[in-house]
Structure 1
Amino acid sequence: MDARLVVERGSFRLDVALTAAPGDVVALLGPNGAGKTTALRALAGLVPLSGGHLRLDGAELDRTPPESRPVGVVFQDYLLFPHLSALDNVAFGPRCRGVRKAEARAQAAVWLDRMGLAEHAAAKPRRLSGGQAQRVALARALATHPRLLLLDEPLAALDARTRLDVRAQLRRHLADFEAVALLVTHDPLDAMVLADRLVVMENGRVVQEGTPSHIARHPRTDYIAQLVGLNLYRGRAEGHTVRLEDGPEITTTEDLTGPVFVAFPPGAVTLHRQRPGGSSARNVWRCEVAGLETHGDQIRADLTGELPLAADLTTVAAAELDLRPGTTVWATVKAAQTHAYRA
């Protein structure tokens, strides 16, 4: 796939370049309003392009109507036909491509079996669980043998327990898919687990792309840093010292010169009620607690002051420090727990 998607709708402009090879699983990740769903609908032919191009397997699809594109779509709410059985929902795609009814139903039965749903072939959508409905929708999309599979928030409608199981199943199915798969999500875990490559969008533009591990290690915007759970700052490095654009200095282990990002996890931050003396941490900042919230089995403190940051600590540590909004604390981070990289 080779695409440049330009869509202008009122004051919003989408301008995104996407490339992928057969077998690639690409995730479009971004906040609400970034343009992810617009990009997916443009690929499906449901939103006309204002400019750019779309090529799939060397064929130009810019003006090809949606029903004639070799594209399968799994929508967020699955859009199964309520009056049709699971079998006939899956057979619908091949039937639209001119396959005779008996053959289409035979193909559908094979797909349902692959999805572990053979015993639910006669069930109507209302009789299916969320995970089962998601797999029927996926089977319906795959039954047409698409060269591009589009998944719009495929796990968003599932509860947490079902989501874990279906995510693992979906990963297996995508690993076997020989064409291009592109999924839209706002959930970083879905993107990290399911995709080989992430394309992060903000305000209709691509702000970063790469493997999940690279992006998790090298976030380049506040949105990405929050997604992967890091404190992120931008500044100018001179050796092991980074002077921030609007803040203090941070000491790092990397020896760099010029514009850089510095990141460290909230768990690397240690809090003290008094300025620590003789601390091995090279970085010490005076802060104030702006808020506290439960974060998994820990407490996350939102800090303002010399360096706005997030710090994770145990409930016991939070109680011993007697933290509450407005409390003054000293935050320390060892240089070895920071990571600096070129901006």
Structure 2
Amino acid sequence: MTDVDRTTADPAATGARGEGLDARLVVDRGSFRLDVTLTAAPGDVVAVLGPNGAGKTTALRALAGLVPLDDGHLRLDGATLDRTPPESRPVGVVFQDYLLFPHLSALDNVAFGPRCRGASKAEARAIAAAWLERMNLAEHAGAKPRRLSGGQAQRVALARALATRPRLLLLDEPLAALDARTRLDVRARLRRHLDGFEAVAVLVTHDPLDAMVLADRLVVIEHGRVVQEGSPAEIARRPRTDYIAQLVGLNLYQGRADGHTVRLDAGPAITTTEELSGPVFVAFPPGAVTLYRDRPSGSSARNLWRCEIAGLESHGDQIRADLTGELPLAADLTTVAAAELGLHPGASVWATVKAAQTHAYPA
């Protein structure tokens, strides 16, 4: 059976497992320098997150060969790709706006890659048909992109990227163009497809939910550098920068621990259940904060600070209060509670957090 036959029979086939991705991406752009190391084993899905301007897209384009490296290396399954032109790399890319050819049907869009790799028209179309079947798009094989929904176009773009049997799949904000309802369905479908992908997948996103659901490991970059990496659970449990804390929805502080007391670098002390010594981070969710208009006398909370409401905004089905004062923090409360407290910008409040609801860990 030929490679084309195997791919037609089993679209999930991506070749024998290799060594995966080993890259140090160094790109100089005047005042900005990207210096990021990425490693992944075959079958891994790695999400690269970071604020705007952090270097996420530059890293993805460097992996694709669209941006040359100024230093570092790029090895995939043991082969060095530093100087390999983009069209010769075993890399598939799904761009944010999908970039489907508007004049081609869904079938011919998917068949385009295999045709470029030397397959005959009939072979390429057989491969494409198998992938569209796998994506539950067989009935849309003859449709032009303008006749497809956002979710259908995303799946065609994914099928086109996978039809060349890449050893590295790059996903650039693959769900960003979808509305909220479609996003839920397509995210679940994409997770299933990635579960069956035996090579390396790198996902670039700004959406923490996409990253948490789709990826096995997160790499967070800021200012062109990796600031934290680990499993989604590790990142969510122990954020190490303000950006990551906001991403996972936690208040985060840094200070020095002496037993159960953490003296913050800038601010008051926080009492924790953990007994630590030396530099630490302390985190707690906005939902752990209880607000009072008057200083509470019967509260069992060990942490109490006088604050002022800096702003209020809707946050899901709750109200998120931005507080300044002794300890800047975010607090979540119900709309009813906010109304009963008479909260408004400039109002003085007391904020409490129980020690059991904080989490301290070494810095």
TM-score by length of 2: 0.94
In structure 2, the partner of 1:166 is 186
Partner residue of 1:119 out of 128, 139, 148: 139
In structure 2, the partner of 1:105 is 125
| Structure 1 CA distance for aligned equivalents of residues 192 and 130 of structure 2 | 17
| Structure 2 CA distance for aligned equivalents of residues 110 and 279 of structure 1 | 64
In structure 2, the partner of 1:37 is 57
1:300 CA drift (Å):
0.7
> RMSD between aligned alpha carbons?
0.4
In structure 2, the partner of 1:242 is 262
Query: Does 2:344 correspond to 1:294?
Result: no
Partner residue of 1:330 out of 350, 353, 356: 350
Deviations 1:87-146 (A, max 9, x none): 000000000001111100011000000000000000000000000000000000000000
Partner residue of 1:182 out of 188, 199, 202: 202
Q: Which moved more, 1:276-285 or 1:166-175?
A: 276-285
| Structure 1 CA distance for aligned equivalents of residues 202 and 317 of structure 2 | 34
Q: Aligned to 1:336, what secondary structure does the other structure show? A: helix
In structure 1, the partner of 2:5 is none
- Which residue identity does 1:144 align to in structure 2? T
In structure 2, the partner of 1:220 is 240
- Which residue identity does 1:334 align to in structure 2? K
Q: Aligned to 1:318, what secondary structure does the other structure show? A: helix
- Which residue identity does 1:65 align to in structure 2? P
In structure 1, the partner of 2:77 is 57
In structure 2, the partner of 1:72 is 92
- Which residue identity does 2:275 align to in structure 1? D
Partner residue of 2:227 out of 207, 213, 231: 207
How many positions carry a matched residue from both structures? 343
Deviations 1:212-245 (A, max 9, x none): 0110000000000001000000000000000000
Q: Aligned to 2:276, what secondary structure does the other structure show? A: strand
- Which residue identity does 1:120 align to in structure 2? H
- Which residue identity does 2:172 align to in structure 1? D
1:254 CA drift (Å):
0.1
| Structure 2 CA distance for aligned equivalents of residues 177 and 146 of structure 1 | 10
1:279 CA drift (Å):
1.5
Query: Does 2:174 correspond to 1:154?
Result: yes
Query: Does 2:116 correspond to 1:96?
Result: yes
Deviations 1:287-335 (A, max 9, x none): 0000001111111100000000000011111111100000000000000
Structure 2 unmatched ranges of 5 or more: 1-20
- Which residue identity does 2:150 align to in structure 1? G
| Structure 1 CA distance for aligned equivalents of residues 359 and 176 of structure 2 | 33
- Which residue identity does 2:45 align to in structure 1? V
- Which residue identity does 1:258 align to in structure 2? G
Q: Aligned to 2:87, what secondary structure does the other structure show? A: helix
Q: Aligned to 1:215, what secondary structure does the other structure show? A: helix
Query: Does 2:307 correspond to 1:313?
Result: no
| Structure 2 CA distance for aligned equivalents of residues 97 and 196 of structure 1 | 30
Partner residue of 1:23 out of 39, 43, 46: 43
- Which residue identity does 1:335 align to in structure 2? A
1:278 CA drift (Å):
3.2
In structure 1, the partner of 2:250 is 230
Deviations 1:10-44 (A, max 9, x none): 21100000000000000000111000000000000
Partner residue of 1:193 out of 210, 213, 220: 213
| Structure 2 CA distance for aligned equivalents of residues 15 and 330 of structure 1 | 44
| Structure 2 CA distance for aligned equivalents of residues 166 and 278 of structure 1 | 49
